[in-house]
Amino acid sequence: MTYAQGKYPELAGKVAVITGAGRREGLGEAMARRLAAEGVKVVLTDIGHAAGEHMPEQAVGTSAEMEEIAAEIRAAGGDVATCVCNVLEPQEVHAAAEFALGHFGSLDIWINNAGIGYLMAPIVDMAADKWDAVLGVNLRGAFLGIKYAAEIMLRQGRGGRIINIGSQASKSGFAHAAAYTASKHGMVGLTRSAAQELGPAGITVNTLCPNHVTTGLGAWQNTHFSEVTGKGYERYMDDMRARIPLGRPGLQEDVAKACAFLCSDEASYITGEAMNVSGGEEYH
């Protein structure tokens, strides 16, 4: 596969950093491929090391996997670089932003995609350290990304795009997922405040709120919740499809398309939004 001319020619030559973009079948990979197809120069980042205790393999983008994705994007004609980044560490997030600037000469788009979606438990069973881990990666990590991306965008003086990857859990509560839901609700508040602060400089800040997407981690979630609810896998998936007006769970490409739109000039007057990409499942 090689990339043809993109839908948004104004994106050609822009530079984007995507956190959590080193996993096969992940949202980060899909957004990277779509933006590269639009001519965007993309920096993939991920934590880079193998999964640790209590962490499913599907949750971590290793350096090797990230390099494989990058090689495939290059083979298709895209311009991509990679950078290991733990979004919990301010110095690493700052370094990733500066890496993009040094390697490609600019930073125009920052996408906060890294997140924890696997520490799920009833509130009474949720350990405090696991709560902190979810809030740390999902919310603190987004804050750090906004902070260091905005510093560079403000210095450049030509605006920019910041996109946070939220969830249907940014809008609605979910049993056994209080930490995740709290972090994604918090992301919407962070988005709105950042949009107020950065709007005068022409920097838009928005959140994308997809419903369930069966990424590698999403497949693990399907199995986990089908067991927790006692429904069994097939009934759990049937129930999911039944409550979505368009009749299917989301796809990675659905999120990637919405991301490209928010990066484009077509979305230049959209900021502070929490945009549903849910097939009609989420309305507010």
Q: Integer distance in angstroms from the first to the last C-alpha of the chain?
A: 38
Residue type, 23: R
Residue type, 43: V
In this prediction, residue 57 carries a pLDDT of 59
The pLDDT tens digits of the residues spanning 228-274 come to 778 888 887 887 888 999 999 999 999 999 999 999 999 999 999 99
Tell which residue, 105, 126, 123, has the closest CA to residue 43.
Answer: 105
Evaluate if residue 15 carries a pLDDT over 60: yes
Indicate the pTM of the whole model. 0.92
Per DSSP bridges, beta strands 109-112 and 160-165 are parallel
H or E element, residue 15? strand 15-18
Q: How confident is residue 275, by pLDDT bands cut at 50, 70 and 90?
A: very high
The pLDDT tens digits of the residues spanning 186-232 come to 999 999 999 999 999 999 999 999 998 977 666 767 676 777 778 88
In this prediction, residue 235 carries a pLDDT of 81
Residue 184 is a catalytic residue: yes
The pLDDT tens digits of the residues spanning 32-80 come to 999 999 999 999 999 987 555 555 555 667 899 999 999 999 999 999 9
Residue type, 14: K
In this prediction, residue 50 carries a pLDDT of 58
Q: What is the mean pLDDT of residues 110-122?
A: 94
In this prediction, residue 218 carries a pLDDT of 65
Q: What CATH fold (topology level) applies to the domain 9-213+251-269?
A: Rossmann fold (3.40.50)
Helix count (H) and strand count (E) of the chain?
9, 7
Share the mean pLDDT of the chain. Answer: 92
Q: What is the mean pLDDT of residues 170-184?
A: 96
Instruction: Pick the catalytic residue from 180, 231, 233, 269.
Output: 180
With contact defined as beta carbons under 8 Å apart, do 211 and 250 qualify?
A: yes
Please give the sequence-ordered ranges of beta strands (E in DSSP) within 123-221, or none if there are none: 160-165, 203-210
In this prediction, residue 104 carries a pLDDT of 98
Burial per residue of 238-277, b for 16 or more beta-carbon CB atoms within 10 angstroms, e otherwise? eebeeebeeeebbbbebbbbbbbebbbeebeeebbbbbbb
Instruction: Pick the catalytic residue from 184, 233, 269, 283.
Output: 184
